[in-house]
Amino acid sequence: MFEFAMPPAFILITGALLVAVARPAMRPVIALLAPLMTLYAIWQIPDGVQLTTTFLGYQIELVEGSALRRMFATVFALMAFGGVLFAFRQSKWYELSAAMIYAAGAIGVSFAGDLITLFIFWELMALFSTVVVWCGGTESARAAGIRYAIVHLTGGLILKIGIEGIYVATGSLEIQALTLDSFAAWMIFIGVLINAAAPPISAWLADAYPESSPMGGVFLSAFTTKTSVLALILLFPGQPLLVWIGLFMIFYGIIFALLENDMRRILSYSIVNQVGFMVTAIGIGSELALNGAAAHAFSHIIYKALLFMSAGAVLYQTGVRKCSELGGLFRTMPLTTVCGIIGALAISAFPFTSGFVSKSMISSAAGYEHLEIVWFLLIAASAGVFLHAGIKFPWFVFFQKDSGLRPPEAPWNMRIAMVLFAAACIVIGLFPNLLYGLLPYPVDYEPYTAEHVVTQLQLLLFAGLAFFVLLPLMKRTETISLDVDWIYRRAIPVVAGKIDRGLNTANEDASKRLLGLGTSLMKGLKESSYRYFSSRAPMGHTALWMAAVLALFLVMTLII
């Protein structure tokens, strides 16, 4: 038993640095132990501010405990462990190391007692998640990583403006519920929402995550958006605007996932969709809704990581990412198929999976608050989740047609990680009190009533029927869908290129003309200089030149 000595995030950062310098044989041991030690440390943190220090003259609170914070940190640490387990034999050491610091950033944000600490760990996440994207190793990963970094550093800047504004206005850096009544609060709101992939800046997620390595995607799916959910719960609970932002994200995710062909991009859009459920819940703001948002974040991280693991295993074994070229993999990758299906059922909130016990809290909260339109939209969206992620992903990747691919089953460490996370999805589904016990507010909610199970089955199974009936309409096309990122990937480069080329041509023209003018002037002077300067030139000319030079002197003395 060791006493609580340093923030849990620092344990993971230390682990990541040790991975970097250790002998290759020691790296997996350190990488697997560090998240577990972090997890232990997380559970040693009691409620309230635990550790303060001085940073640039500010009193900052590095660690503040509460049930909600511990819950998020727990799932981040579990995720770091599962991700490392999935990746440690395949990833390069620097990918593991970067992913661990990324996870440490998320844990640091979870325990941040004030806005400065939050900001520092927020930026740590931005930097090292970019490294994880770059570890994809391709030219498109490099470019996507740069776009990702620009979006997140801009978001960080906006957040920082907000934090400074709050400090100037109130003199307090406390993390507390804010209202959108000042410029600074709006800046914080926008800065946090950019990380949640809220509209109109949602495109970065589906742009960057699918370019990472098969292992990197597992890490990326978990941290950035969910720390943002935590920040929203802490800073803007019950902000009505969030309901509509969340609903937009939900349907944006579904529609774009339906249009998509790249398997990990489908999953990326469904992250936006799922975070939309949480954002809506935070907007509803009742105790049940906030519990629902937190519970859904917890179960979402696990089943989404599981989905990214199964997609990653397929990508690792086949090198193919397009649904149009995949299919029929259940023959030789049965375990990956089963785990992928469990993840897909969990994301669809099928009874007896983790999604069922968490997502139903959100729609019930909308019902209890008498938000009729919101409730109907949430129910329609639940059916849509089954459509775009619950069936579409496993169907097109593992079944569909026989693509002729016969990859062997994933490596053993990937299989163990998938089985563990699949088991977690089912255990939480069967014993929801394990999850409910971690929630910030006391839970008085029973997910398993006969009517709830029956109505949910009706909803999902008929959504499934719709999928197979409409299958001809869903034929995969080798396309991508335009999004807001078109503005910075196409429109701005085209306009900037036009301006650049225009200025270049103008520059060349101008210098050509100027030179031509000078040349002809000199030529004229040279050829007909006798007219002005020779002894045969008329007296009048010389007098004129003298006058001109004297006038010039006069003007110069006046000015200087």
Partner 1 sequence: MTPEREEAIREGASHWLVQPRTIRLLWWISGLVLALTIVAQIWITVHAYFSIDSWPGFYAGFGFLSCVAMVLFAKVLGWVLKRPDDYYVEPTQLAPNVLEKNGQRDDV
Kindly list the residues in this chain that would bind partner 1 in the complex (CB under 8 A).
140, 251, 254-255, 258-259, 261-262, 322, 328, 330-332, 334, 367-368, 370, 372, 375-376, 379-380, 382-384, 387, 402, 406, 450-451, 454-467, 470, 473-474, 477-483, 489-490, 493, 497, 500-501, 504
For partner 1, the closer of residues 6 and 484 by Cβ is 484
Question: Shortest Cβ distance from residue 504 to partner 1 (Å)?
Answer: 6
Shortest gap between Cβ of 213 and partner 1 (angstroms)?
20
| Greatest distance between any 2 Cα atoms in the chain | 119
- Show the tokens assigned to 428: 């939480």
Q: What is the DSSP letter of 411?
A: P
Q: Which secondary structure element, helix H or strand E, spans residue 76, and what is its range? A: helix 67-87
Of the candidates 271, 278, 223, 208, the residue with the CA atom closest to the CA atom of residue 103: 223
Give the separation between CA 456 and CA 433, rounded to whole angstroms.
Answer: 20
Give least dist CB 250 to partner 1, A: 11
Query: 239 and 284 in contact (C-beta within 8 Å)?
Result: no
Kindly state the smallest distance separating residue 363's Cβ from partner 1, in Å: 9
Considering the complex, state which of residue 93 and residue 467 has its C-beta at the smaller distance from partner 1.
467
- How many residues does this entry show for the chain? 560
Which residues make Cβ contacts (< 8 Å) with residue 391, sequence separation at least 6?
Answer: 344, 463, 464, 467
Neighbours of 35 (CB within 10 A): 27
* Contact assessment for residue 73 and residue 111, using Cβ atoms and an 8 Å cutoff: yes
Contact call for residues 320 and 305 (beta carbons, < 8 A): no
Q: How far is the CB of 394 from partner 1 (least distance, A)?
A: 13
Q: How far apart are CA 185 and CA 29, in angstroms?
A: 44
For the bound state, the minimum distance from the C-beta of residue 461 to partner 1, rounded and expressed in Å, comes to 5
Going by DSSP bridges, is the β-strand pair 48-55/58-65 parallel, antiparallel, or unpaired?
Answer: antiparallel
Q: How far apart are CA 305 and CA 78, in angstroms?
A: 11
- Reply yes or no: is the peptide bond before residue 394 cis, omega within 30 of 0: no
In the complex, what is the shortest distance from the CB of residue 519 to partner 1, in angstroms, rounded to a whole number?
A: 23
Name the burial class of residue 404, with classes exposed (0-12), middle (13-18) and buried (19+) by CB atoms within 10 angstroms of its CB: exposed
* Residues 345/390, Cβ–Cβ less than 8 Å: yes
Nearest approach, Cβ of residue 477 and partner 1 (Å): 7
Task: Let me know the angle formed at the C-alpha of 304 by 106 and 321, rounded to the nearest 5 degrees.
Answer: 115
Residue whose CB is less far from partner 1, 164 or 489: 489
Pick between residue 195 and residue 337 the one whose CB is nearest to partner 1.
337
Judged by CB, which is closer to partner 1: 434, or 484?
Answer: 484
- Residue nearer to partner 1 on the CB measure, 91 or 363: 363
Measured between alpha carbons, how far is 196 from 223 in angstroms, rounded to an integer?
10
Distance of closest approach, residue 285 Cβ to partner 1, in angstroms: 18
Nearer to partner 1, 152 or 392 (CB): 392
Tell me which DSSP letter residue 490 carries: I
Q: How far apart are CA 158 and CA 198, in angstroms?
A: 15
Which residue number, 220 or 405, has a Cβ lying nearer to partner 1? 405
Nearest approach, Cβ of 497 to partner 1 (angstroms)?
7
Collapsing DSSP states into helix, strand and coil, what is residue 229?
A: helix
- Identity of the residue, 473 or 558, whose beta carbon is nearer to partner 1 in the bound complex: 473
